[in-house]
Amino acid sequence: MSWASVRGITIGTDYAKKQRRLDLTGAVGCPISDCSQRDAVEILKLPFIHVDAIAESYVGSVKGKYAWVSIQNLAEKRITLAEMCSRTGVHGTRLDIMLDESKLPRRDAFGWIRTNVTDFIEFICL
């Protein structure tokens, strides 16, 4: 999206005032029960080629619809190479080698257990 197209986005005054009056202090959790496949892979920083790694999060038998709570739980517990690259600034190939050398091998197509690599990521970011 170019700067010119972003400048062309407008929000109505009445809508903006209504949004400013929303009281979100008591809001708990997310009111959305499911999310799309595209949203799920974006939230998880999962390369689309590995989308089958999150098949257990389907809503019922509907392929492409995921339970929001399952995606949130997965994001809390797991971490992908793409997210680690983003957080550390290290290229994926090099980071994968460094993880293997540190005895932190990839668990599966999805990636790593977040708690297992947290100290490693913090060390890299120093």
* Helices vs strands, H then E, count in the chain: 7, 5
| Mean of per-residue pLDDT scores for the chain | 82
The pLDDT value recorded for residue 29 is: 60
The pLDDT value recorded for residue 114 is: 93
Does the pTM surpass 0.95? The reply is: no
109 closest CA partner among 42, 55, 67: 55
Encode pLDDT of 16-34 as tens digits.
788 777 776 655 665 667 8
Encode pLDDT of 72-106 as tens digits.
888 899 999 999 998 899 999 999 999 999 999 88
124 closest CA partner among 96, 113, 19, 72: 96
Q: Name the most confidently modeled range: 36-50, 62-76, 81-95.
A: 81-95
Element (H, E) at 62: strand 62-67
Average pLDDT score over residue span 58-74:
77
